[in-house]
Structure 1
Amino acid sequence: MDRSWMYKKRNTLEYVNGVLDFVQIAEEYASKIGENYIVCPCCDCRNLKKFRGIDEIKSHLIRRGFKEGYDQWIWHGENVPFSIDDVELDVEKDQSKEDNVRNDEDNERLDELMRDMQGDLNELPQEFETFFENSGKPLFSGCSKFTKLSSMLKLYNLKEKNMWSDKSFTELLKLLKDMLPDDNELPCSTYECGASRYERKGYNDACEKKKGAPAKVLWYLPVIPRFKRLFANSNDANNLQWHAIGRKEDGKLRHLVDSPQWKNINMKFPEFGSENRNLRLELCTDGMNPHGNMSSRHSTWPVLLTVYNLPPWLCMKRKYIMLSLLISGPKQPGNDIDVYLTPLIEDLKILWNEGVAVFDAHSQTNFTLRAMLFCIINDFPAYGNLSGYT
């Protein structure tokens, strides 16, 4: 669709009619998803501010113009622009169909992710802006088929599907970066971060090049940014107060909020209990064999967090159960599991002691979020490892 009118003179009839079409589409999309606010794409608001009525957005667009590069209206109902046939592989037709279905699902999930992130997002403007820009930035000058984000998603899908090692994937990225034009945006390594906080087995300062298999592998998915994302979505932010303002109170036990433990915590820590948005979390972990082979000694331990502020029909949905840690190794962690829980415990201590500043998209206010570990759910062997309950 030709939207060159968006960046022409704003006093023309073509531009004004285009703005009227845009606000109509934006209003229809907001009504469709049940949202009371509409994101403003003007060059000042830059899709980072929302307004209730379309008149103010219409005024912004006519007086200030559209944000540069926003010719695909992904914040107002359009899908993120990916091409299904971006990667050509010599595979059978049925496999190609399966890949296309997966690509469609990826598009929907990414689109949902970006919609969930909409809001003022005062706390994460730089990360938000970078993510948004990468979704529309060409891989290199003149490239209309790939964006920086879409190319990395395609490559990572191939990596996971074919079980490539990080080393081989990094070598592929380096090769592709050399083959592409000099101004390409492709990263040249798998990770762009600092050194690991954990030592490798067989690693020491005297012999930096000595290699050995890690004693165990730990993936930590930080929880604080994910809690901020929950509150950045207006519907989720509203649901997180269900335990205080949305439930039926008739003395019956329907949810943990009806339990004596919940009430005792509110009485013992009144400052914590007075803020409805403070989170009560449940932790669950156990070992599993991901290969489905009983003769294998390999053990993987996922550590999951559930938010009990949510109503009972949501808190156990897959969307709201957070994978915070994944411990993988040739055997179970046993009593040493506390070593692997350290990064999660550090974040939970921050959330309990100081709290973190969070933007609530439902009330359009900032507040200090605190959280506590309300309970843990495990079988008895895992209780023994976590709490010493033998």
Structure 2
Amino acid sequence: MSSSNYHRSWIDRPHLDPNTRLLTEEYQRGITEFMGLVRQLPEAETGMLRCPCSNCKNRKIIKEWDVWTHLLLSGFTRSYKIWYHHGETEYEHCSTSEPQPAVRLEEPIRTDVDYGVGTEQMVNDHFRREDLPNAEARRFYDMLDAGKQPLYEGCRDGHSALSSATRLMGIKTDYNLAEDCVDAIADFVKGILPEDNVAPGSYYEVQKLVAGVGLSYQVIDVCSDNCMIYWRADDQRVTCKFCGKPRYKDTGGRVPVPYKRMWYLPLTERLQRLYLSERTAQRMRWHAEHSTDGEIRHPSDAKAWKHFQSKYPDFAYERRNVYLGLCTDGFSPYGKSGRQYSLWPVIVTPYNLPPNL
């Protein structure tokens, strides 16, 4: 299915002429092109289409005539330049009226609005048809679409409830703020915004929004001497099976308090996330599909990688299998304040991806 210029710059401009308050000619051509494209879809025979206006944002399926009305009155969703909800799955450059950027695998340059959390990129990354691989994937993308709802009517593009929550969570981590402090900041910000705003008003609401992304974690009790973790078959044990030391402190309270805990970020759902879109799934095959000139620019160019593949040919045959690199080291984040805590992060890197990712 053909499409026009990837930029589709008419989407970024006001759909009404500021002098006449009528639709601009550029916008009329743009929505005419869009409606011509969607009429080729099988769904068009039903007369019901997904509406990409700035209010519906592809979340509603309505009659074709109502789609026209919405686009004329409300304008087009500004971030929706690849019409993946309406049949487009890849960039197709059919116009030369504007310079075309090369399709690259690098991450986009972050703007001030992005705050380094990549919310916009996560949403725009799902170039796919409506037939998502499973219900879990559909829930995830629906959540991200909902997360793009602007904080209030007329706010700058890129500011949503989800981006605000991730920004607040980042500030809390960077400055080691107490939860009460985040509550006060969130309540203050929500209070000075227009009344129809959807900004999180408390740390609890921030946690709920961020947790919706689906990257959960588990807290696991650990032996005070690091002999073992109380997990799976050992989940109900109250003493260490190696040194015999108790699992819980003698506090006398109803809720047992363990001597030590660790935070575990499950790998499976994070790896599955990399295969939820066509683009990231393609990048996960990069290690097997890229060409090399003999220089080592990636672990897959080295002899050790090729030796591993020769030793495990069944694993190497399926290029979608994940090659993981693991590293760990300990440090004390509270050394200056004299606290006796240490942190041992375990970092796992998927080597399937190109070096720039």
The TM-score, its normalising length taken from structure 1, stands at 0.46
With the length of structure 2 as denominator, give the TM-score of the two structures. 0.49
Q: Taking CA–CA contacts closer than 8 Å with sequence separation of 6 or more, which of the two structures ends up with the larger relative contact order?
A: 1
